[in-house]
Amino acid sequence: MSVDDPSSWVPNLTPAQFWVERSYFAGILIGAVAYGVHATLFFLTLTLLWARPRTNWKDYGWIAYITVMFVLSSMGNGGQFKFTEMTWIDDRDYPGGPGAYQLEQSAPSSTMCNIAYITNGWFQDALIIYRFWIIYNRNIYALIGGSILLLGEIVSSILLFIAITTGGKVLNSDISVKLLTAYFALSIALNISLTLVICLKLMFVRRKVGQLVASSAQYLSVSAMLIESAALYAVVGIIFLVPWVSQNPVQQLVLPTLVQLEGIAPILIIMRVAQGRAWAADTESRLNTSTLSFTKSSRGDTVALSSMASKGASTTRFKSSGWSHDEEEVGVKVDEDVLRVSE
């Protein structure tokens, strides 16, 4: 090896081995960016939640929830960084190079990383099931299917924890790959199915009242649907699962970001809760019985429409400020989508 000959610096690896190492290293860097996004959203959401009046257990529950998820993500990220340091610095002379090391070896930092990220996945999936229950008007049947899949996730991941902590198995051993595949398959299947049914429900409500009630935009916009359904995790999960099943190195580019999305997707939902923009149990009924109000200005010729009712009868109230010295309210029954006002 010569310092004047760059070609002599290249390790004796096959193109496939180079690709494994490059994809792993690039994935860590991309995941670090995702962690930065997670950290930013965490502190923004924590500030919003803390500024709200805290009157019941839910207000403190959201704070505890995002804090636990951020701590777990931080532990996972730190463990991943430590294992990467061992791979490329501490044990760089391992036979086969860093690529072989990260495939064949394990360490407490790596085990902590895997357990933290998988536990985070439980919390994320529990939240999406809860939101599904809320959006479907707290129907108990809405909990059954999702809860079964979540239980399957927990069982398969606990078996994985046992294998990598007491069985001496690395994450890339046959049994670990099968258990991790089962976990990811159940988690991603749960998120895809709930994403679809939540989006369908919101699209149905949007079709029903969205064009008539201006205030429905915060609940029924495309961005609201994507956030409420945690679609971000579902889409990236599909991108990850295909190469993971075939053990293609592309999965190493996606996995560090996917595990951060376990925390990002719920925080986006909870941020909407903190802003008062999230779908609540009574949102659909409020949209369906929206009130129509008019205000007459002192100029005597302006009638302002603040919201439009959905199809069907609803009570409409007028408040005048320019017709007489005494304010008065008039109740009107609205049976049509289009209301004509004449003086």
CATH number of 162's domain: 1.20.1070
Looking at the fold, whether 97 and 124 belong to one and the same domain comes out as yes
The b-or-e profile of 168-178 (16+ CB within 10 A means b, else e) is ebbbebeebbe
Q: In this structure, is residue 52 part of a structural domain?
A: yes
Helices (H) and strands (E) in the chain, counts: 11, 4
Looking at the fold, whether 193 and 302 belong to one and the same domain comes out as no
Looking at the fold, whether 272 and 308 belong to one and the same domain comes out as no
Sheet of 303-305: strand order equals 303-305, 292-296, 314-320, 329-334
The helix (H) or strand (E) run that includes residue 96 is none
Q: In this structure, is residue 31 part of a structural domain?
A: yes
Looking at the fold, whether 209 and 315 belong to one and the same domain comes out as no
Q: Which of 259, 282, 305 is the last residue of a domain?
A: 282
Q: How many CA atoms lie within 13 A of 99 on its CB side?
A: 17
Q: In this structure, is residue 103 part of a structural domain?
A: yes
Looking at the fold, whether 185 and 261 belong to one and the same domain comes out as yes
Q: In this structure, is residue 223 part of a structural domain?
A: yes
Looking at the fold, whether 190 and 170 belong to one and the same domain comes out as yes
Looking at the fold, whether 21 and 113 belong to one and the same domain comes out as yes
Q: In this structure, is residue 218 part of a structural domain?
A: yes
The model's pTM: 0.75
Q: In this structure, is residue 6 part of a structural domain?
A: no
The domain tally of the chain equals 2
Looking at the fold, whether 300 and 220 belong to one and the same domain comes out as no
* Residue-level pLDDT, tens digit, the chain, 343 residues: 566 667 666 777 788 888 988 999 999 999 999 999 999 999 999 999 998 877 777 778 999 999 999 999 999 999 999 999 998 888 888 887 887 888 788 888 989 999 999 999 999 999 999 888 888 888 888 788 889 999 999 999 999 998 888 765 666 677 888 888 999 999 999 988 988 888 887 777 767 665 544 444 554 555 565 666 678 888 899 999 889 888 888 999 999 999 999 999 889 888 887 777 655 555 555 555 554 444 444 444 444 444 444 444 444 444 444 444 444 444 444 433 433 333 3
Looking at the fold, whether 209 and 163 belong to one and the same domain comes out as yes
Looking at the fold, whether 219 and 243 belong to one and the same domain comes out as yes
Domain that holds residue 36: 11-282
Q: In this structure, is residue 1 part of a structural domain?
A: no
**CA 138 to chain CA mean position, Å:** 20
The b-or-e profile of 248-274 (16+ CB within 10 A means b, else e) is ebbbbbbbbbbbbbbbbbbbbbbbbbb
The pLDDT value recorded for residue 313 is: 41
Looking at the fold, whether 310 and 194 belong to one and the same domain comes out as no
Looking at the fold, whether 212 and 95 belong to one and the same domain comes out as yes
Q: Which of 282, 298, 322 is the last residue of a domain?
A: 282
